[in-house]
């Protein structure tokens, strides 16, 4: 019950896609990191934010590799040290993508608001859904199994809503970098490779959550009927 080889077979497509996506991200990032840009990642993010009137959004450096993110609660765009300092196409692409989230926030982009609201449910569901399902099976509380499955459904919902949020941020990033003259059409090729590669990681995560939910439904509901 606690170790099922079929789980890995069931999720093999998602695992393989995730491995390929990570390889593509690292390859695209390494290539674009070698291509110079006229601004650092921090300067590019600042330019995108200021051009949208978001002068109150701060840009800060944080430790870690590709730890870049936008914090809507504190209205701070946090960039990894490498992205913050580097004057490369990889850095300006990633920085502009995160600035795209700040633009979404400033414009009241509905999918972003929905995603942010779903974060607590997704965080709780990813940690406790499996425990509830196991407890339901062990003690014969089938309702508890369904509660666990429903909680994990919150994770799936978050992943699904996250897709348009991330895709839209990348689209905004590419448009802003070109319109503001940070990159030309040749530079856009490298930025697009980095952001498109990152998009595959979001797709892989969504596929994994969907297949996991389907596995739970088939495994636990099927098992509870036979117990």
Asked whether the beta carbons of 182 and 38 are under 8 A apart, the reply is yes
**What is the model's pLDDT at position 3?**
64
Residues acting as catalytic residues: 98
Confidence label for 142 from pLDDT (cuts 50, 70 and 90): confident
pLDDT digits (tens, 9 = 90+) for 66-96: 899 999 999 999 999 999 999 999 999 999 9
Confidence label for 1 from pLDDT (cuts 50, 70 and 90): very low
The residue among 76, 115, 120 whose CA lies nearest residue 98 is 76
**What is the model's pLDDT at position 101?**
97
State how far the Cα of 203 lies from the Cα of 13, in Å rounded to an integer: 12
Domain ranges of the chain: 5-226
pLDDT at 103 over 90: yes
pLDDT digits (tens, 9 = 90+) for 177-224: 999 999 999 999 999 999 999 999 999 999 999 999 999 888 876 644
pLDDT digits (tens, 9 = 90+) for 13-52: 999 999 999 999 999 999 999 999 999 999 999 999 999 9
Asked whether the beta carbons of 42 and 88 are under 8 A apart, the reply is no
State how far the Cα of 217 lies from the Cα of 223, in Å rounded to an integer: 10
pLDDT at 121 over 90: no
């Amino acid at each position: 019950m606690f170790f099922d080889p079929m789980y890995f077979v069931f999720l093999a497509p998602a695992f393989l896609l995730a491995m390929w996506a990570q390889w593509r991200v690292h390859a695209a990032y390494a290539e674009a990191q070698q291509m110079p840009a006229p601004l650092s990642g921090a300067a590019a993010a600042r330019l995108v934010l200021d051009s949208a009137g978001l002068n109150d959004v701060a840009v800060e450096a944080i430790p870690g590799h590709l730890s870049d993110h936008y914090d809507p609660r504190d209205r701070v765009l946090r960039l990894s040290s490498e992205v913050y300092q580097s004057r490369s196409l990889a850095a300006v692409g990633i920085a502009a993508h995160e600035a795209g989230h700040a633009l979404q926030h400033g414009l009241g982009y509905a999918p972003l608001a929905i995603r942010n609201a779903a974060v607590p449910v997704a965080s709780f569901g990813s940690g406790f859904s499996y425990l509830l399902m196991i407890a339901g099976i062990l003690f014969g509380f089938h309702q508890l199994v369904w509660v666990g499955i429903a909680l994990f459904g919150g994770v799936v919902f978050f992943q699904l809503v996250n897709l348009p949020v991330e895709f839209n941020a990348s689209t905004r990033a590419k448009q802003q970098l070109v319109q503001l003259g940070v990159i030309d059409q040749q530079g856009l090729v490298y930025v697009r490779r980095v952001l498109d590669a990152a998009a595959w990681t979001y797709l892989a995560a969504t596929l994994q959550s969907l297949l996991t939910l389907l596995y739970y439904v088939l495994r636990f509901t099927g098992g509870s009927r036979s117990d």
